[in-house]
């Protein structure tokens, strides 16, 4: 693969005397403090669940390590253990920026984990050595890495085929128009989720965490015109304020995203618009854009009315679209509409 998505794998047992105990791990660079942190958090999450262990994979954050963990919990009968039941967990660690890959392909990734459950239980019952556990972990790492490579290739092929059903894009000169769309708004309003839902592309993202920007693209046809939208997902955190202004330049359109359940994120839309407008005003062209009210699926938690947003949109001379990145409602429509308006302005 082009880059290493898996940061490590740790196998943890619930030891009657020691508590959460890391048994085997890859790579060897983990410190004992890291291992104990992973072990304690992964297994103590089940405390208070009356012995119930989730059958599906679970994703847990480890923010102090800038990692997340994909966890497979294992449970089996063992009369030698306290309560006659034994528990353990396989934790696959990955960078937070790659979480969309694991959320998107959770069902696919469960298969390699499930295939190893019997092997793990047999190792536990036979009091196997650490080296034998490492062999199982290496096997899991290989299978997951192979699966991720296959899914990545599948995404690339599917994206190119959908854009050009008669031929794959090999010559960039086939693209008639390229447009830069910046997506801004407060943190946690769903900007990244909107882009992922639209591009359906978890792997091919260029992300610079120190600058707080992620760049994705999608190529498609509008009638007989081939269009490429380059989508700049710009971090909303205060620490990125100075840097993000540089990314606004050269923008053709803007999405100002807020959360329909969070009034503060809506109240900040004018600030975001002014922030963007300040950087593009010198070009002498009107900035095309939409206010995007995301999370429309949370109807009972909604705090902002459509009438209120329409008033602001009219004042800023922008459009307004409600979306649900979770359900996919109006997501394709939003990007298609902006592409149509941009094409109309160029023709």
Query: What are the pLDDT tens digits along the chain (347 aa)?
Result: 456 889 999 999 998 888 899 999 999 788 999 999 999 999 888 766 666 778 889 989 898 898 999 999 999 998 888 778 899 999 999 987 777 788 878 889 999 999 999 999 999 999 999 999 999 999 999 999 999 988 887 776 665 555 554 444 445 567 888 999 999 999 889 888 888 888 876 665 554 443 457 777 888 888 788 888 989 888 756 655 556 667 788 889 999 999 999 999 999 999 999 988 887 776 656 789 999 999 999 999 999 999 999 999 999 999 999 999 888 899 999 999 999 999 988 87
CA gap 323, 333 in Å, rounded:
9
Both 192 and 304 in one domain: the answer is yes
- The rounded distance, in Å, linking the Cα atoms of 153 and 287 is 36
Tell me: do 100 and 238 sit in the same domain. no
The answer to whether residues 187 and 94 belong to one domain is: no
- Measured from the Cβ of residue 208, the count of other Cβ atoms closer than 10 Å reads 12
Q: What is the pLDDT, as a whole number, of residue 210?
A: 39
Question: Residue 156: which CATH number?
Answer: 3.30.450
Q: Are 144 and 6 in contact (CB under 8 A)?
A: yes
Q: What is the pLDDT of residue 167?
A: 44
Query: With the C-alpha atoms ordered 104, 106, 107, 108, is the resulting torsion angle positive or negative?
Result: positive
Distance between CA atoms of 168 and 71, rounded to whole angstroms? 37
Supply the pLDDT for residue 211: 46
Residue at 260 is within a domain: yes
Residues spanned by the domain of 108: 6-160
Last residue of a domain, one of 126, 160, 194: 160
Residues 231 and 272 grouped into a single domain: yes
The pLDDT value recorded for residue 165 is 44
pTM: 0.59
């Amino acid at each position: 693969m082009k880059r290493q998505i898996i940061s490590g794998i740790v196998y943890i047992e619930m030891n009657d005397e020691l508590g959460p105990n890391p048994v085997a791990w890859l790579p060897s660079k983990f410190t004992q403090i890291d291992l104990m942190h992973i072990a304690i958090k992964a297994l103590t999450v089940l405390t208070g669940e009356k012995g119930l262990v989730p059958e599906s994979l679970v994703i847990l954050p480890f923010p102090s390590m800038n990692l997340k963990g994909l966890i497979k919990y294992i449970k089996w009968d063992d009369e030698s253990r306290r309560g006659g039941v034994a528990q353990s967990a396989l934790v696959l660690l990955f960078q937070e920026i790659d979480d969309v890959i694991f959320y998107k392909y959770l069902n696919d990734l469960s298969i390699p984990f499930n295939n190893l459950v019997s092997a793990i239980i047999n190792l536990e019952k036979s009091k196997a050595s650490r080296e034998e556990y490492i062999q199982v972990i290496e096997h899991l790492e290989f299978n997951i890495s192979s699966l991720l490579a296959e899914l990545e290739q599948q995404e690339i092929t599917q994206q190119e085929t959908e854009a050009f059903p008669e031929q794959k894009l090999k010559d960039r000169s086939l693209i008639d128009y390229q447009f830069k769309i910046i997506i801004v708004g407060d943190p946690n309003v769903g900007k990244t989720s909107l882009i992922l839902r639209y591009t359906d592309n978890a792997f091919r993202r260029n992300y610079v965490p120190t600058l707080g920007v992620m760049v994705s693209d999608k190529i498609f046809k509008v009638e007989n015109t081939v269009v490429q939208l380059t989508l700049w997902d710009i971090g909303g955190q205060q620490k990125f304020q100075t840097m993000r202004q540089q990314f606004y330049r050269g923008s053709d359109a803007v999405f100002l995203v807020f959360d329909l359940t969070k009034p503060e994120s809506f109240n900040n839309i004018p600030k975001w618009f002014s922030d963007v407008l300040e950087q593009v005003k010198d070009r002498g062209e009107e900035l095309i854009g939409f206010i995007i009210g995301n999370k429309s699926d949370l109807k009972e938690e909604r705090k902002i009315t459509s009438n209120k947003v329409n008033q602001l949109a009219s004042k800023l001379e922008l459009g307004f679209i409600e979306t649900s990145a979770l359900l996919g409602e109006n997501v394709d429509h939003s990007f298609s509409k902006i592409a149509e308006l941009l094409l109309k302005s160029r023709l």
